[in-house]
């Protein structure tokens, strides 16, 4: 379905981003990965579907590196047709104890990076009159939780940014939408499970059950594969007129 299209997925060496990159490659897109950690492992998985998949190590807190990555995607893959802004980090603490440096990093990586990548990629999308921008926000783009000031601010921000970008491009072939997952068991959330297990002297399974019970009525984690299938759908012609939406995949979290 996506053969002939190219995709840049930020933060795709792990978790949700890797799941989305895999699904886009399975559907025929040429893919550029981004992110830190197990780059070779992620590339090996994606290359089973897109043997020419590449990786760019841009730090998503650095605007000049983001722009250079988009330019490299256009030069090496021929275009940046699909842009998935997924890179993200978390820090959990009440505002009065929140390190200012963590605030700045979360706003830069979880919010400002999407502005910089869209700014760089949109002119090329306009030139081809086709583009798909998918911003991985969160239920925390729609509702708040304690101890996540920077994350909730960044995710509410990216939902707003998604709407502006969708409106600015509403008469073009470029659509812009946000996906808002609830709990997904990735390394980012495992850290929060570990913290809960340590604080309450409970085991990993009990900590996961408690985490889900607090917020996610289905008591099931959303999977990267489910989010990836939604991303593929958003790239399909059936989604041509889905614009500026924030689609929650959250087991009922924000229905409460
Ligand atoms: P993860 O920790 O598994 O993956 C994060 C990815 O971002 C990794 O590839 C990492 O290398 C990359 N990254 C981090 N800092 C970076 C930087 N400065 N530059 C480039 N890459 C960087 O986390 P995940 O859970 O898969 O999260 C992916 C996205 O989904 C995030 O935006 C997160 O906020 C969002 N999200 C996650 C959940 C969840 O429950 N896991 C829920 C809602 C939203």
Task: Provide the pLDDT confidence category of residue 20 given band limits of 50, 70 and 90.
Answer: very high
- Return the residue whose CA atom lies nearest to atom 23 of ligand 1: 188
Q: Quick one: 112 and 208 in the same domain?
A: no
- Residue 114 Cα to ligand 1 middle (Å): 13
Count up the domains in the chain and report the number.
Answer: 2
- Return the residue whose CA atom lies nearest to atom 8 of ligand 1: 11
- What b/e sequence results for 39-61 when a residue is b if at least 16 CB atoms lie within 10 Å of its CB, and e otherwise? beebbebbeebbeebbbbebbbb
Given this model, what pLDDT does residue 76 score? Answer: 98
Q: Quick one: 100 and 209 in the same domain?
A: no
Per-residue model confidence as pLDDT tens digits over 183-212: 999 998 999 999 999 999 999 999 999 999
Q: Quick one: 161 and 213 in the same domain?
A: no
Per-residue model confidence as pLDDT tens digits over 58-117: 999 999 999 999 999 999 999 999 999 999 999 999 999 999 999 999 999 999 999 999
Q: Which atom of ligand 1 is nearest to the CA of 137?
A: 44
Q: Quick one: 101 and 191 in the same domain?
A: no
Q: Quick one: 95 and 194 in the same domain?
A: no
Is there a domain that residue 157 lies in?
Answer: yes
Given this model, what pLDDT does residue 41 score? Answer: 98
Q: Cα 194 to the chain's mean position, in Å?
A: 23
Taking residues 124-138, what's their average pLDDT?
Answer: 98
What's the Cα-to-Cα distance from 194 to each of 120, 190, 215, 217, 232, rounded to whole Å?
A: 38, 6, 17, 21, 32
Is 126 a known active-site residue? no
Kindly state if the Cβ of 183 falls inside 6 Å of ligand 1. yes
Q: Quick one: 215 and 197 in the same domain?
A: yes
Given this model, what pLDDT does residue 248 score? Answer: 98
Q: Please report, rounded to a whole number, the percentage of residues in the chain having pLDDT higher than 70.
A: 100
Q: What is the DSSP string of 129-171?
A: T-EEEEEE--GGGTS--TTBHHHHHHHHHHHHHHHHHHHHTTT
Per-residue model confidence as pLDDT tens digits over 216-247: 999 999 999 999 999 999 999 999 999 999 99
- Is the pLDDT confidence value at 21 over 90? yes
Is there a domain that residue 57 lies in?
Answer: yes
Is there a domain that residue 98 lies in?
Answer: yes
Supply the pTM of this predicted model: 0.98
Given this model, what pLDDT does residue 49 score? Answer: 98
Q: Quick one: 123 and 209 in the same domain?
A: no
Q: Which atom of ligand 1 is nearest to the CA of 221?
A: 40
Kindly state if the Cβ of 248 falls inside 6 Å of ligand 1. no
Is there a domain that residue 1 lies in?
Answer: no
Q: Which of 29, 142, 151, 248 is catalytic?
A: 151
- Return the residue whose CA atom lies nearest to atom 41 of ligand 1: 184
Exposed/middle/buried for residue 246 (C-beta within 10 Å: 0-12, 13-18, 19+): buried
Q: Quick one: 201 and 237 in the same domain?
A: no
Q: Please report, rounded to a whole number, the percentage of residues in the chain having pLDDT higher than 90.
A: 98
Containing 204, the helix (H) or strand (E) segment is helix 204-215
- Residue for token pair 């979880």: 110
Instruction: List the CATH number of the domain containing 139.
Output: 3.40.50.720
- Return the residue whose CA atom lies nearest to atom 3 of ligand 1: 15
Kindly state if the Cβ of 138 falls inside 6 Å of ligand 1. yes
Full domain range(s) for residue 204:
184-221
Q: Quick one: 96 and 122 in the same domain?
A: yes
Angle CA 134–75–130, to nearest 5: 40
Q: Quick one: 211 and 146 in the same domain?
A: no
Is there a domain that residue 53 lies in?
Answer: yes
- Residue 53 Cα to ligand 1 middle (Å): 20
Is there a domain that residue 255 lies in?
Answer: no
Given this model, what pLDDT does residue 175 score? Answer: 98
Is there a domain that residue 256 lies in?
Answer: no
Q: Which atom of ligand 1 is nearest to the CA of 151?
A: 34
d(CA 237, CA 59): 32
By residue count, the chain amounts to 256
Q: Quick one: 172 and 245 in the same domain?
A: yes
Given this model, what pLDDT does residue 67 score? Answer: 98
Question: In sequence order, what are the beta bridge partners of 175?
Answer: 132
Q: Quick one: 122 and 193 in the same domain?
A: no
Closest CA to 67 of 112, 106, 22, 16: 112
Q: Which atom of ligand 1 is nearest to the CA of 188?
A: 2
Given this model, what pLDDT does residue 250 score? Answer: 98
Is there a domain that residue 215 lies in?
Answer: yes
Closest CA to 84 of 181, 17, 1: 17
Given this model, what pLDDT does residue 188 score? Answer: 87
φ, ψ (nearest 5 deg) of residue 140 = -75, 0
């Amino acid at each position: 379905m996506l053969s002939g299209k190219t995709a840049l997925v930020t933060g795709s060496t792990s978790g949700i981003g890797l799941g989305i990159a895999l699904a886009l490659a399975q559907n025929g897109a040429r893919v550029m990965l981004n992110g830190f950690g197990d780059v070779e492992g992620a590339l090996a998985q994606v290359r089973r579907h897109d043997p020419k998949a590449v990786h760019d190590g841009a730090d998503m807190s650095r605007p000049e590196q983001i722009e250079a990555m988009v330019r490299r995607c256009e030069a090496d893959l021929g275009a940046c047709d699909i842009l998935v802004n997924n890179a993200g980090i978390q820090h959990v603490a009440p505002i009065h104890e929140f390190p200012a440096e963590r605030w700045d990093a979360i706003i830069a990586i979880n919010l400002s990076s999407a502005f910089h990548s869209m700014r760089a990629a949109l002119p090329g999308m306009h030139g081809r009159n086709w583009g798909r921008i998918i911003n991985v926000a969160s239920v925390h783009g729609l509702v708040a939780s304690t101890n996540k000031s920077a994350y909730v601010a960044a995710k509410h921000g990216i939902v707003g940014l998604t709407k502006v970008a969708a409106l600015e491009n509403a008469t073009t072939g470029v659509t812009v939408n946000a996906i808002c997952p609830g709990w997904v068991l990735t390394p980012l959330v495992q850290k929060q499970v570990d913290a809960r297990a340590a604080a309450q002297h409970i085991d990993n399974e009990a900590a996961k059950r408690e985490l889900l019970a607090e917020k996610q009525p289905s008591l099931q984690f959303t999977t990267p594969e489910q989010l990836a299938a939604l991303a593929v759908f958003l790239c399909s012609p059936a989604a041509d007129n889905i614009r500026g939406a924030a689609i929650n995949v959250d087991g009922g979290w924000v229905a409460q």
